[in-house]
Structure 1
Amino acid sequence: MIKIYHNPRCRKSREGLAFLEAGGHDFEEIRYLDNPVSKEELVSVIKKLGIPPQQLVRTSESIWKENYKGKSLTDDEVINAMVQHPKLIERPIVINNDKAVVARPAEKIKEIL
Structure 2
Amino acid sequence: MIKVLYHGSCSKSKAILEHLDENNVAFEIIDFIEQPLSPMEIRTLLKKLNAGVQELIRKNDKLYKEKFAAKQHSDEEWINVLSENPSLIQRPILIKGPIAMIGRPVENVRFFIDK
- TM-score of the pair, normalised by structure 2: 0.91
SS at match of 2:29: strand
SS at match of 1:70: coil
Measured on the aligned residues, the alpha-carbon RMSD in Å equals 1.1
* Larger deviation, residues 101-110 vs 3-12: 101-110
| Count of aligned residue pairs for this structure pair | 113
* Larger deviation, residues 83-92 vs 66-75: 66-75
> Within the alignment, does 1:76 sit opposite 2:76 as a pair?
yes
How many angstroms does 1:112 deviate by? 2.3
Aligned to 2:16: 16
Instruction: Write the mapping of 1:41-52 to structure 2, written as runs, cut at 5 A.
Output: 41-52=41-52
Instruction: Write the mapping of 1:93-108 to structure 2, written as runs, cut at 5 A.
Output: 93-108=93-108
Unpaired runs of at least 5, structure 1: none
Runs of 4+, deviation exceeding 4 Å: none
How many angstroms does 1:30 deviate by? 0.3
Aligned to 1:27: 27
* Larger deviation, residues 61-70 vs 36-45: 61-70
> Percent identity over the alignment?
34
